[in-house]
Each structure stands twice: as C-alpha cells, then as structure tokens.
Chains A and B, each alone.
Chain A
Amino acid sequence: MKWEPLGKIFDPTEHALPHGCREFAQSPQVLVCDDRVRIYFSTRSVDAGGKFLSHVAYVDMQKDLCRILCVCDHTVIPLGALGCFDEHGIFPMNVLRVGDLVFGYTCGWNRRVSVSVDTAIGLAISRDGGATFQRIGDGPVLAASLHEPCLVGDGFVKLIGGMFHMWYIFGTGWKRYAADSPPDRTYKIGHAVSADGFAWTKEEARQIVADRLGPEESQALPTVVEIDGRHHMFFCYRQSFDFRSNAARGYRIGHAWSDDLRNWIRDDDNPRLETSPGQWDSDMQCYPHAFECDGQIYLLHNGNQFGRFGFGLSRLQM
C-alpha cells in the first residue's frame, strides 16, 4: 500500500471563519454525505489574556475533494460553561452517523495551574445533519480514571458489529524535562467499548500500540479504517519533549493493523506517508484522519506547525 499525496486542500487563512478565527485548521474529520464531504476541524481564537481557544468549524467539499463548496460561518458547538471540562477549547471533534443523528465526540480542554491543561471526552448530538451540535450534559463521557490519571482525549468512534468502539488517548503523566521549560506530557492510545455510545467501558490503561521511540513516545489522534477486511489504525507520534520546533523530534504518522480489534501490529512503513524537504508537511505530519469515500481510501492530515496553515489529503494506492 502507498499514499499518493494530493497536497494541501484547505488553508484557514484564506477564509472567513466563525469566532474571528484566522489561523489553524487542526484535526480534520469527515462526515461523508450524499452530495458532499463535510470536514470538521478545530480553529483558534485568542482570548483577552492572549491565550488560544479552540473552536469547531467545518468546510464542505465536493465528493472528489477538489473543490470547496462552502465554509461554515456559524457556531457549530459553543464552548463549555465556566469550570467545565471543555471551557477553553474543543479539539478535535470526531463525528459519527447514528440513525438520523450525528454523534460528535469532543475532546474538551480546560486550563490548569501547575500544568497547562487537562482534557476529557464529551458527547454532543446533531439533529440537523451536522450543522450544529448540542451536548448531552455539561460533563464528559470519558475522563480520567484510576490508572489513566490525566489527559483523556482524541476519541475516535466506529460502530463495528453493533458495538461502539472508541480509540482514544490517555496521559501517563507530566514531567518537567528542563528547569526553564514548562511541564510536558506523555500519552498513549487506549480502547473502550460501549453498547449505546453513551456509557463506555475502558480497557483501563492498556496501551494498545507499541512504542517506536520508547516510553517517552507520545501517541495521538488514532483513526481506524477498514481496508480489504483488515482494520488499519493511523495516528501520530512524537517525542514528549522538544517536539514543537525540532523536526527530528516532532510528529510523524504511525500505523498499526489488527484482525481482531484487540492485538495491533505496528507497521509505520506500510503504508508510509512520504514528504520531501520544503513541503507544507516536511517538518511535521500530524492529526491523521482516514476514511472511505466513493470507493477510495483517503487520509487527511495536518502539516507544519500543528496545522496552523491547514490540512492536506492523500489517496491510498493498493
């Protein structure tokens, strides 16, 4: 298998976005419709204190993913209330059709004092085809637990054989790597199941994908797609420290496959996402989202600077 790069397909700085957002289109995630592909992403505004707030927006594209139909200019889901888990951002939101509804699994961000943030996973439901979402409650459906002490987020949900499966990340801890740097976190990919999409049972701190970089590898944003009867997971991984501007330590796309949804074989090289120096994603490749549309398997991902200038697309060649 091989990814054929189709280049960057959306640049947030070229469009008017809700909430006065100008940059960032992170973690693209699709809702495939009859006449279009809706791509949700998280963009950023800046609050009065100069800190970022992540908001969900979307762009509708033709099904060939070559032409933009429209960019949403309204609030897709407001941020959480004072003191709630998603008060300071929703990034990312994973969408899933369930009958006439669209479930949106949000990763909510809230700011802390000793460390920068914590996260948890919420559920919001759309009854208008994905234009707007309403939370099922102010709190999360998946949060920290006995052996997952922090940073539960990045939920990706699929219905397989009548069961909801969620792949997500959980923090294994915070660490200060240098006296003059703020604490950094490490997270790994985990798995939970649910009969209804609301009440989840975690495997509780079982890391399902092996490390390539060792214990301080951070793994993020799992996405799972079926190719020829086999489950393929894509995710991004990096070093836990000095990863923001050091390309050698920054995000790259990882891959694993499974036939039983329990044991995952890591194999980053097949298919491998190539890039070349000077490209929009040459310093960093992150936040992958794999999906099928009209018989083709695609991968959306962000490039340099965590998606500050948008996302690109690749097509799978078998």
Chain B
Amino acid sequence: MFTWQKLGRVFSPQQVTDRPWLKEFAQAPATLLLDDVVRVYFSCRPPADAGGQYVSRSAFVDLDRRDLLKVRAVSDQPILGLGGLGEFDEFGTYPVSVIPANGRLRAYYAGWTRCESVPFNTAIGCAVSDDGGITFHKLGRGPVLSYSPDEPFVLSGPKVRRFGDRYQLFYIAGRKWKLVDGRAEPVYKIRLATSVDGLHWEKIGRDLIESRVEADEAQASPDVFQCNGKYHMFYCYRYSSGFRSREFGYRIGYASSIDLLHWTRDDAKAGIDVSFEGWDSEMVSYPHVFEVDGSIYMAYLGNQVGRYGFGLARLNGTLE
C-alpha cells in the first residue's frame, strides 16, 4: 500500500470573494508545472440560478513551487468561454486537462448541455492557449470526442497524456441512466482513446477498469502517472445510489498497467481514504498525481465533491 501524507486543504473557493463566477466548488484539479509555480486548473461555479441549476466554469490557482501550500495567484477570469445557443458546452466547461502540444498549450474539457429527460449531457472539447495558459480559445464549436454506439452519452473527465509517440485521452463514458428515487443518475466507466495529432481520436472501445463494488459502480477521474516502468492510475469510484453519503460516496482507487491497455485493479494499494473528521471526512475523489522537484503529490477533492476546495497529499516513497 502506498503511504500518502495528507498536507490539508490548499485552496478553498470561499476564500475568494471578488469573483462572482468563483463562488463555490474547486473541482477536478489538474496541474501544469511552470518555472515558479504549479498551476492547478480546476472547475468552479457561480451561485445556482433561480431554478437551482448550476453552470460550471474553469479557472486556475498558482501554487508556490517551493511551498505548495502557498497560493500565489488566482485567475482573474474563467479560462474558457461558454458555448453558444444549442452547443455542447453551453452550460459548463468542467473538467479541464492541459498539455503542451506543438509549442502551445492545449486544453481538453468536458462541455455541458441540459436535456429534458435527464439533467445533462457532456462531450469533450478542445481549446488552445496563446498566452501561456491564462485563457484558451476553442478549436471549434463542437466536440473532438463525441458519442458512439457503445458510448452513448456523458463523455467527461478528460485527462490527456503523451506517453511514447501518441496522445492518450483517458475519460469516462456513460453506460446508462439509472432512476434512483425518481432521479436520473448516470453510471459511467473509464475509457481510453489515442491519437497522433490530438484531434482525431481512436477509441479503444472497452472499459479499462473492471467494476468492483457493484455492476453499476460509477468510475471517474482516471489519472495516469508513469513511474518505475509502470503506468499508475488513480481514479475514484462510487456506488450508483446513496452516493451523497459517507458510506456510498466516492473513494480513491488504484490500478496499474505496463501497456496502458490492460489494467490490474488493486484499490487496497491506493493508500488514501477519508479522514476521521474535517474537510475530507465524507468522501475523497478526483485524484490527480503529479511530481514536483523530486516529490510526488496527489491533489484531490473532499466532501461534497469539492464544494469547499481541494487538498494535497505527498507520497512517502515511490510508486511501484
């Protein structure tokens, strides 16, 4: 089992009072290592509208590279605009994953639309930055990764990587909408697509991680880190119902692979769980593993899927 030393919560959206679009939530942290800072992209929300509906925006916080608990800056504006009328990302851009590509920064993000019979649908879009990752403009008004026969809806949670000569996009795809106490809740699984140019993607077309706690287990935030000749994936999973509780809510799982295609799930090895009390006492979710100056860290969300921000843990030892 890996040993993670929890460093506590490093960013809380409630601390920021002068950005109305950054009222609550700091979800799905994903980093970009810069000279002086670690830029952590995350997704946040303005207050809900009169109907109780949220729009998700994405932003970043810069952490001091020598002391990751120190916030150096928070983005002045959302990094991405919302889509136009009837477009796939009209009601949200969440989450975001950023990677350098062809001398520019490229962001992959899930765009949100609202549906009548189910609350939402998502597909994955792509945008580029010409100002070092402060703002991004979309490559098109539609998605780069959309629905297909065995991935009918809810394509989300993109994490883009480049191992070898191809790009890898780890993401989730909806399997079914399950009615739980009259409310439609999505069941989704971890998937993979690969690409030479990052624009034309070939889907692998199967679940990477077998379901463990139940057949309708929902899996999210597939975050892959290469270390010691292996690929290490941290992700989160939850039950299909009752998941807003401590008992059935998100936990962080782990799997490893030597070829990116075949994964061995071993959640007991993940080594990070809910705390006895405090900001992450009910759930831990949306892990992101990154390395800074010789240390390996995990950013993750606590209670209410990041409503009150994200925290960090540092690995003791190595991933193997």
Contact = CB atoms under 8 A, between A and B. Distances in A.
Contact of A139 (B84, B118, B147): B147
B113 A112 contact: yes
A112 B85 contact: no
Contacts of B143: 144-146
B147 A85 contact: yes
B80 to A, nearest CB: 15
A112 B114 contact: yes
- The dominant DSSP class at the A interface is loop
B88 A183 contact: no
User: Secondary structure of the B side of the interface?
Assistant: loop
B115 A149 contact: no
Nearest to A122: B149
A67 interface: no
Contacts of A175: 85
A144 B126 contact: no
A187 to B, nearest CB: 12
A113 interface: yes
A150 B153 CA distance: 14
Interface residues of A, number: 41
Given A140-B149, A143-B146, A83 B85 contact: no
A66 interface: no
B246 interface: no
A82, A122, A123, A183, most chain B CB atoms within 10 A: A82
Interface in A63-99: 81-85, 87-88
A36 B139 CA distance: 49
B102 interface: no
B179 interface: yes
A149 B88 contact: yes
Given A82-B179, A171-B86, A112 B146 contact: no
A2 interface: no
Given A83-B177, A141-B148, A173-B85, A146 B114 contact: no
Interface string B128-168: 00000000000111111011111111100000000000000
Contact of A110 (B117, B141, B150, B174): B117
A111 interface: yes
Contacts of B83: 149
Given A83-B184, A145-B143, A146-B199, A139 B150 contact: yes
Nearest to B199: A146
B153 A114 contact: no
Given A149-B87, A183-B85, A143 B148 contact: yes
Interface string B87-128: 110110000000000000000000001111110010100100
27 contacts: A82-B179, A83-B152, A83-B176, A83-B177, A110-B116, A111-B115, A111-B116, A112-B86, A113-B115, A114-B86, A114-B90, A114-B113, A115-B85, A115-B86, A137-B150, A138-B149, A138-B152, A139-B152, A145-B146, A147-B140, A147-B141, A149-B83, A151-B86, A173-B84, A174-B86, A176-B85, A198-B149
Interface of A: 81-85, 87-88, 110-115, 118, 120, 122-123, 135-141, 143-151, 171, 173-176, 183, 185, 198
